[in-house]
Structure formats: C-alpha cells, structure tokens
Amino acid sequence: MTTNLSQYDANTLPSADVLKRQRYAIIVADWNSDITYPLAQGAIDTLLKYGVQEKNILVQHVPGTVELTYAAGRLVPQLEGSAFVSRCYDAIIVIGCVIQGETPHFDYVCQSVTQGVSILNAKGVTPVIFSVLTTLNKQQALDRAGGKLGNKGVEGAVTAIKMANL
C-alpha cells in the first residue's frame, strides 16, 4: 500500500540561520502544468518555511521534462582549468511529470531525464534533486501533487536541503 511520503522529521533539517544564507534553484516543466505547478509551489513553500529567503530561490520554467536536464546543467558549475568554479546554488530541484500513453515516448522521456540527472549528480558539485513524477495515469500524478499521497515537491525541497548540507 502506498502512503503519504511527504511526512518527515523537521528536526533533521539545519537551522534557519544556515538556510537563510543558501540558494536553491527550482526548474519546472510547463508540460502537465496542472501537476508540475503545484509541485513547484510545494517546493517553494517548504524552502521558505525552513528559512530560505525568497530572494535566494530561483524558479525557472522549461517547456517539458526532457529540457529539465539542460536547464539544470546550465546551473551546475563546470570544470574551469583544473578546478570547479564556485557553486551558485546549494541544490537544484527539477520538477516534471510524465504520464504513460499509448506509445514508447514515455519510456524515452523518463530514461532521458533520469540519465541526465544522474550524470549531473555524478559530477558531485551541486546536488540535482529528481522530483519528476512518472505515472501510469493522471490520477496517480494528482495524488502525488498535493493529493492523498502528499506533494513530491515538498519531498524534493526537503531532500535538497539535506543534500545541500551533507
């Protein structure tokens, strides 16, 4: 049985004094916006709730889920000479929603974004948090975008905070 996974122990998060100095980026796909926008709002609200300043949250929109990787890659520091440039963001959250249809397009999109985020994380510079729903139908997505199974955007924000403060 699936349960609401958006519950967590707030005591495991750093203090607001730490978080007020940190910067977070949220990249949200406009495709399936009735799902992705509530996910993004859940992430924003959670970051603000724990002390991240509004001015330190970048929200960037891209057309679809495949484009999340490119946008996140633009925000991850690249190798410059023999060292990485300093991080602009303490963590990046990518938010999308892919609902299975009648063609293999679902598989290609899911594989593309999963592989892209994995490659970005393998660089080990800025954590990129995967908050992409991959569901069999719209109801499953709605249940995870503020419905009976919580809000995966909230989970993405909590994960981003934890990963930024390892």
Which residues are annotated as catalytic? 105
What counts of helices (H) and strands (E) characterise the chain? 6, 8
Sign of CA dihedral 100, 104, 60, 57: positive
- Listed residue (124, 156, 161, 127) closest to 20, CA to CA: 161
29 contacts 97 by C-beta, under 8 angstroms: yes
- For tokens 């975008």, the residue is 145
